[in-house]
Structure 1
Amino acid sequence: MAAAAAEKPVMVVAVDESEHSFYALGWTLDHFFTGPVSPFRLVLVHAKPSPASAVGLAGPGAADVLPYVDSDLKKIAARVIEQAKEICASKSVDEPMVEIMEGDARNVLCESVEKYHASILVVGSHGYGAIKRAVLGSVSDYCAHHAHCTVMIVKKPKHKT
């Protein structure tokens, strides 16, 4: 049985604290994990920012703040993973693999694709406009160009009917 699981292609799903991320996870489960036997091995990946990048400051006093920021980032990561697992359980997808990696989401996701030899990477789209996307950078756009697998970008409809 373990050999059969190892032969399944891997689907990496990016999760963060956004509603877009959780929508993408739910959509993916509804469309790819509906039968009695799932066609993929599911890996949920959360990119936790480093404390220094989250604070965005340096200099005297910054070192005093970093442990508190790190603690908060760990709590956020735990909440994200817990909510993602709850979504999986509600759709009868038991025990997905879970990974929390520190770093920029773009790099973390591309590294996860390599690490797990993923066939598909699923990311949610925040629906930013061109200006905001240019300033913030688009994780989905970066992954579409740099991940060595198929990248599926799931957009949450503006008005759900």
Structure 2
Amino acid sequence: MAEGKEIRVVVIAMDGSDCSNYAFDWYKKNVHKPDDFVVVVHCPEYQTLMHHSVGHERKDIEQVAGKMQEEQKKKNDLLESLKQMLTDADISGKVKSIVGHPGEVIVKAAQDESAHLIVTGTRGLSKLRRTFLGSISDYVLHHAHIPVIVCRQ
């Protein structure tokens, strides 16, 4: 790297889906520069645990604890996989896992890292579904104060 050259920080939102993997590959092939520092941001979703009804029976509590352990293992496996993706692509960077609303987490992570660019995938929700469910990529587009690339397969 040349003396005095600023390192470009790129945040890539990844959840292990085909859409996020596509966004990573697209970034790698079309935008990546050798001096980039990539921050892969993962926002685990624990909704299935939150919606699981828990009674006061010991069996229910043990069941939820078991589900939580499963989710934690899946998350750890995914984080290792994301780290390996960076290594395999010979890209300098790190992986961050942050709990919260995904759109807010991505925008905040980009601010905290002084990022220059955000790259995200999209699941391609219909306009009607996006209206009711919201869209992470729409949120990021409207709230980030830096350029955002939304990669659609």
Q: Tell me whether the two structures share a fold, i.e. TM-score over 0.5.
A: yes
Provide the residue aligned with 2:141 in structure 1.
Answer: 144
Q: Give structure 1 regions of 4+ aligned residues with deviation exceeding 6 angstroms.
A: none
Counterpart selection for 2:110 from 86, 109, 113? 113
Unaligned runs of 5+ in 1: 157-161
Give 1:23 shift.
Answer: 0.9
Q: Is the 8 A contact 2:83 2:94 kept in 1?
A: no
Provide the residue aligned with 1:78 in structure 2.
Answer: 76
Larger Rg: 2
Provide the residue aligned with 1:135 in structure 2.
Answer: 132
Provide the residue aligned with 1:11 in structure 2.
Answer: 10
Percent identical residues: 24
Q: After superposing the two structures, state which structure 1 stretch, 131-140 or 71-80, moved more.
A: 71-80
Q: Whole-Å Cα distance in 1 between the matches of residues 20 and 89 of structure 2?
A: 16
- Aligned pair count? 148
CA deviation vs aligned residue, 1:11-61 (integer Å, no higher than 9, x gap): 00001021000110111112233x6x32x2110010012x4x333245535
Provide the residue aligned with 1:68 in structure 2.
Answer: 66
Counterpart selection for 1:122 from 94, 119, 131? 119
Structure 1 residues 28 and 61, CA, compared in 2 at 3 Å: closer, same or farther? farther
Unaligned runs of 5+ in 2: none
TM-score of the superposed pair, with normalisation by structure 2:
0.81
TM-score of the superposed pair, with normalisation by structure 1:
0.78
